[in-house]
Structure 1
Amino acid sequence: MKTTPSHPKPPRAAPFDSETLLRESGLRVTRAAQTVLELIEHSSQPLTHEEVAAAYTATAGEAPDRVTVYRVLDRLVEAGLCDRRVGADRVNRFSRHVEAESGNTFECDQCHKVLALPSDPELPKVMGRLGRALRKQGIDTRHTALTLHGTCGDCAR
């Protein structure tokens, strides 16, 4: 009897649980916090405060308090659940936190999507040389991360 090799199915991603994420991050679980976190999680690109407020209105059926949205976004950033990036246009955009193994990211200048860069064995050496050069100038860095800017494949089409 011939058997066909079975290919295990990849594990299904667990459904997004904003309540647990907020609680585990030490944040209060409120309707506003859950809604904003879910909007950011399911967005394909970073959102401005105004875009978060508009999406909140569309989702909840009522306009949120603008100050509440600002405060929730600040708390999510402080807790490491989302990232805040300031674009060349000086507008804050919020997206889910990108965990890059290398610690480095790519940001599309058009849609502001953020992607993790792959690890490169030469990069730590380059960053170390840069850090040493800065220390010679009296500059002490606490954290180094590289962000490349350009146009993503979707926007280039």
Structure 2
Amino acid sequence: MATRPSRKNAEAESVDPIDALLSAHGLRRTAAARTVLGWLLAHPDTSYTHAQLQMALSGEGTEADGAAVALDRVTLYRLIDRLTQVGLLLCRVDASRVRRYQAMPTSVHAIPHFECQSCHRDSPLAGALQANANDLERAAQSALAALQALGYQGMSMDFAVRGVCVDCATSAPDTAGVAA
């Protein structure tokens, strides 16, 4: 005779991973929170400004029953602030003082990225630094452990390299021979 799965097991199997993340971090599982976190987790290698995120989500905000999810500017600001405070999002401020948000994987202590000081493009460096990823991770864990020993809490690390990207460097006029 076949046994039916218990109701508790059926509920455990149907738990949405985004709902589980929100609950585990003490956040309400609202449609807006699911939409924002779901979008950022689906695009883990991209960081978004508030305006870029609002534009990207403008067509995404619907619940399972087709009802629209209100994601006005203030709601989105408050939501990304809460997601950042609990460590689900990484907030970086680039050279132009623009905030950019990206999903923060729980297993990662530092997300290396390059910020172009000319075009302000933000590019992940994880692939470029793959050979040194373990060294970077160990250094981040060591720094975070030292700060934690001093009493700091709820930390993440932002590893930013700033300069001029290849596209901007090759499109800039040659000024090497010009006297100032």
TM-score, normalization: structure 2? 0.55
Partner in structure 1 of residue 79 of structure 2: 72
Tell me the matched-pair count. Answer: 126
Aligned pair in 2 of structure 1 residues 107, 141: CA closer, same or farther (>3 Å)?
A: farther
In the alignment, structure 2 segments of 5+ residues that lack a partner are: 1-15, 63-67, 127-131, 169-180
Quote the Cα distance in structure 2 between the aligned partners of 1:91 and 1:49: 9
Aligned residue type for 1:58? G
* Aligned pair partner of 2:96 in 89, 93, 105: 89
Aligned pairs for 1:4-83 within 5 A: 17-43=17-43, 44-60=45-61, 64-83=71-90
User: How far is 1:28 from its partner?
Assistant: 0.4
Partner in structure 2 of residue 120 of structure 1: 135
Q: CA RMSD in A?
A: 3.6
Partner in structure 1 of residue 114 of structure 2: 108
User: How far is 1:106 from its partner?
Assistant: 1.5
The one-character-per-residue Cα deviations of 1:9-48 (angstroms, maximum 9, x if unpaired) are: xxxxxxx721111011110011111111011111241011
Quote the Cα distance in structure 1 between the aligned partners of 2:79 and 2:57: 12
Does structure 2 retain, via aligned residues, the 8 Å contact 1:48–1:92? Answer: yes
Partner in structure 2 of residue 147 of structure 1: 159
State the identity %. Answer: 28
In the alignment, structure 1 segments of 5+ residues that lack a partner are: 1-15, 132-139
- The DSSP-based 3-state class of the residue aligned with 1:90 is coil
Quote the Cα distance in structure 2 between the aligned partners of 1:105 and 1:59: 26
Partner in structure 1 of residue 7 of structure 2: none
- The DSSP-based 3-state class of the residue aligned with 1:118 is helix
User: How far is 1:60 from its partner?
Assistant: 2.1
Quote the Cα distance in structure 1 between the aligned partners of 2:166 and 2:37: 25
Does structure 2 retain, via aligned residues, the 8 Å contact 1:98–1:115? Answer: no
Quote the Cα distance in structure 1 between the aligned partners of 2:23 and 2:167: 36
Aligned residue type for 2:84? V
Aligned residue type for 1:73? I
User: How far is 1:56 from its partner?
Assistant: 1.5
Aligned pair in 2 of structure 1 residues 150, 98: CA closer, same or farther (>3 Å)?
A: farther
With 57-66 and 69-78 compared, the bigger mean Cα shift is at 57-66
Quote the Cα distance in structure 2 between the aligned partners of 1:155 and 1:18: 37
Aligned pair in 2 of structure 1 residues 57, 148: CA closer, same or farther (>3 Å)?
A: closer
Quote the Cα distance in structure 1 between the aligned partners of 2:125 and 2:91: 14
Does structure 2 retain, via aligned residues, the 8 Å contact 1:86–1:93? Answer: yes
